Amino acid sequence: MTITPEQAREMVARAVRRIVPDADVGSVPDRADLRRTFELDSLDFLSFVELLVKESGVRLDEDDYPDLATVAGCADLLARRSA
């Protein structure tokens, strides 16, 4: 399944809201650090990654974590890997 950048952004927003239910992901700049913005600890971040994998079907490894630091990075990686 090919994921568009827009679909990937929605997946990221849903995953963040599962971890931080009151998160206003839409107001966060694309290049803002997700962990810092939403105060995600290591376990929260791992849960976030697992949610992205589950929803997208895209394999994400520890080497991908730097690319998952921002909304834009997540969306770009998910869209690129799904193509």
How many Å separate Cα 7 from the centre of its chain? Answer: 11
Give the Cα separation of 43 and 20 in Å (integer): 13
Report the domain count for the chain: 1
Hey, what are 67's tokens?
A: 């690319």
Question: DSSP assignment, residue 22?
Answer: T
Give the Cα separation of 28 and 30 in Å (integer): 6
Instruction: Give the CATH number for residue 17.
Output: 1.10.1200.10
Q: Has this prediction a pTM greater than 0.75?
A: yes
pLDDT tens profile 2-30 = 999 999 999 999 999 999 999 999 999 99
69 in helix, strand or coil?
coil
Q: What's the average model confidence in pLDDT over 55-69?
A: 96
Give the Cα separation of 75 and 49 in Å (integer): 12
pLDDT for 83: 85
Cβ contact 23:38 at 8 Å: yes
Please give the residue range of the domain that contains residue 49: 5-82
